[in-house]
Amino acid sequence: MPELPEVETVRRGLSPVMEGQVIARADVNRPDLRWPFPPGMAERLTGCQVARLRRRSKYILADLSSGETLLIHLGMSGRMLVSGDPLGVFVHDHPAPQKHDHVVLHMRNGARITFNDPRRFGAMDLMETARADDHKLLRVLGPEPLGNDFHEDHLIGAFQGKMTPVKSALLDQRIVAGLGNIYVCEALFRACISPRRKAGHISKPRIAALVPVIRQVLADAIEAGGSSLRDFRQADGELGYFQHSFDVYGREGAPCRTPGCGGTVRRIVQSGRSSFFCAQCQR
């Protein structure tokens, strides 16, 4: 499911039922996802109040009253489902347990948060809140694309001398953190840049123009509640709808949406992943 807009959507859905609330019990139904869970994870979560839910790139971070922070990554297929009716908002009651329900957080307010992840590329870990930035998975991340540290000079510097295609460069979380396959394709389309162009061979003005485009694509997607592919749902069960706004992603063979272009969206494979683009208007 999850690139930055989907993770942000999940965070916003979880916030009202988790922040300020206490984890009464944690069911941990297997020893690992992508990596082993930290020792005693269930016990370390039990009785903790969730002070704040944050997001860094595609990670959700729950700061706990114990001084620890729970890190959650959704991988490719992870979902966080909220059930129960703690706020009088969620009409559905607790559903029957599903296959791949790996971790269930029972909140004292009656809400239940279920982490379901068929492919198990997701992850959970616990760390000291004070050292969260030093976590192995977080310390390597580049700037947040919606934050102040992501700007023209940064991207120009990061692309300098890079012989890798711009598609790969933008997927590199060390350069900018939170983009994935969909939003890189969409941003490159909006910026009229071919995914095959070598990052280091793009002119400075065109790199600079990419910055606001990336911000806007992400903002548009967050506004729409993310993209719902393969039945991804927000935490409250609603579907995001940004997938209806895709210009190129998943549109192989369809006409380019640039007015007057007349081109056709193509699919190519770059470092093992599909890139969708219009060779007519993306140069």
Partner DNA sequence: ATGGGGGCCTGCCGGC
Partner DNA sequence: TGCCGGCAGGCCCCCA
Residue 119: name the closest of 97, 94, 99, 138 by CA.
99
Residue 199: name the closest of 242, 243, 166, 246 by CA.
166
Residue 277: name the closest of 256, 91, 259 by CA.
256
Q: Is 34 in the site for DNA (CB under 7 A)?
A: yes
Helix-strand-coil percent breakdown of the chain, rounded to 5? 25, 25, 50
Q: Is 2 in the site for DNA (CB under 7 A)?
A: yes
The only residue of 168, 247, 265, 282 in contact with DNA, by rule CB under 7 A: 168
CA–CA separation, 138 and 51 (whole Å): 20
The verdict on whether 223 is a catalytic residue reads: no
Q: Is 279 in the site for DNA (CB under 7 A)?
A: no
Of the listed 12, 120, 215, 273, which one is catalytic?
273
By C-beta, is 110 or 200 nearer to DNA?
200
Q: Is 45 in the site for DNA (CB under 7 A)?
A: no
CA–CA separation, 45 and 4 (whole Å): 25
Largest CA-CA distance found in the chain, in angstroms, rounded: 61
By C-beta, is 45 or 185 nearer to DNA?
185
Q: Is 145 in the site for DNA (CB under 7 A)?
A: no
The verdict on whether 2 is a catalytic residue reads: yes
Which tokens hold the place of 256?
Answer: 């380019």
CB of 47 to DNA, least distance (A): 30
The only residue of 86, 143, 180, 195 in contact with DNA, by rule CB under 7 A: 180
Handedness of CA 271, 274, 279, 283 (dihedral sign): negative
The only residue of 129, 194, 228, 282 in contact with DNA, by rule CB under 7 A: 228
List CB contacts of 204: < 8 A, sequence separation 6 or more: 152, 156
Of the listed 44, 56, 58, 251, which one is catalytic?
58
**Quick one: three-class SS letters along 124-157?**
EEEEEHHHHHHCCCCCCCCCCCCCCCCCHHHHHH
Q: Is 215 in the site for DNA (CB under 7 A)?
A: no
Among the candidate windows 47-55, 60-68, 177-185, 255-263, which touches DNA by CB under 7 A?
Answer: 177-185
Tell me the CB-side half-sphere exposure of residue 19, using CA atoms within 13 A: 11
Q: What does the chain come to in residues?
A: 283
The only residue of 162, 197, 206, 257 in contact with DNA, by rule CB under 7 A: 162
The only residue of 100, 197, 206, 257 in contact with DNA, by rule CB under 7 A: 100
Among the candidate windows 19-27, 48-56, 83-91, 173-181, which touches DNA by CB under 7 A?
Answer: 173-181
By C-beta, is 43 or 153 nearer to DNA?
153
Q: Is 57 in the site for DNA (CB under 7 A)?
A: yes
The verdict on whether 143 is a catalytic residue reads: no
Q: Is 229 in the site for DNA (CB under 7 A)?
A: yes
The verdict on whether 257 is a catalytic residue reads: no
Among the candidate windows 39-47, 70-78, 125-133, 212-220, which touches DNA by CB under 7 A?
Answer: 70-78
Q: Tell me the catalytic residues.
A: 2-3, 58, 273
